[in-house]
Structure 1
């Protein structure tokens, strides 16, 4: 498991103008840290350090050690605001992690064994992904970096739903707690286009 640490400085110069100056003159990214029993705190992160961390998928679903002027606190990345055209980060939101309190986090899905999928190998089908991430609820210590979706035994025409996922101990899917109507499809193996027509012609 990767350990992530970010360094930050507290800032008192607030507002859109101050944020623009940070990004333009100091190559810093404005951010806010909130949650827990402390007041929200405005901070500034080094743009280069944040950009490097964001290149790792695990960073988005991982407890981060945020060092603000020498004081460390555990946080989760909750939101990013990117420039609409240039895609660089304009602002970041971090949620303080409190031991013993559950958190809700978007966790990526990793699809495995697609090359040996029954529906593809024997049925000639193709795999489609409906979801790429899911929202989970768990204690910080149980937070997974990703959830695996095993496609090995999925047959042609079969649809995998959220309820079919194997979750780590202590981890629950937020959608499933809302009822059966929220048991969303995750992936499926469908027949290639024209397959039904070809089969019909063969039968005739």
Structure 2
């Protein structure tokens, strides 16, 4: 059963994109949290999912999805699979989702969960999210669900012209801001459009050290 009451609560809180509300209504957040927290799943608060990570509060998931405005058929890169909830929302909106998770302990269960839900338009990778997914680029949109201290250049470079990047940026202890960066349509001569949207608090975006390959 989907989260009908949660979607209605989000509508009252100002989420106006009906496609976002429909995607959340069609999911059960309880499927994405530990069994011990299922009763708390529809609360508008982040919840721990293990390994020092959290599932974002529903309002933030809805707000970020609305701000990203994914369209059916668009290629969307998500940095930080976590529980898989945000990827599920994007997939239910018709996006072709490429999701990267640095922690195998989270990536494996998230993939099993999303495949069990029948969401086939999601591609999975375990690895360093700050490097993006170069061979699948360019992307129409990129969404970060963890906060780097500074915007990783590789993510911006993997946007198509006119594409948008939504990511929380800031120190682990200090002020973080959700920013939306739109890549200009016409070449490197134009500056990207940068919008500051919301003060937020996210777990840090971690990267893995480079692996030395044999010669």
Short-chain TM bin: under 0.3
Q: TM-score, normalised by structure 2?
A: 0.26
Bigger relative contact order, structure 1 or 2 (CA pairs below 8 A, ≥6 apart): 1
Structure showing greater Rg? 1
User: By percentage of residues, which structure has more strand?
Assistant: 1
Q: TM-score, normalised by structure 1?
A: 0.27
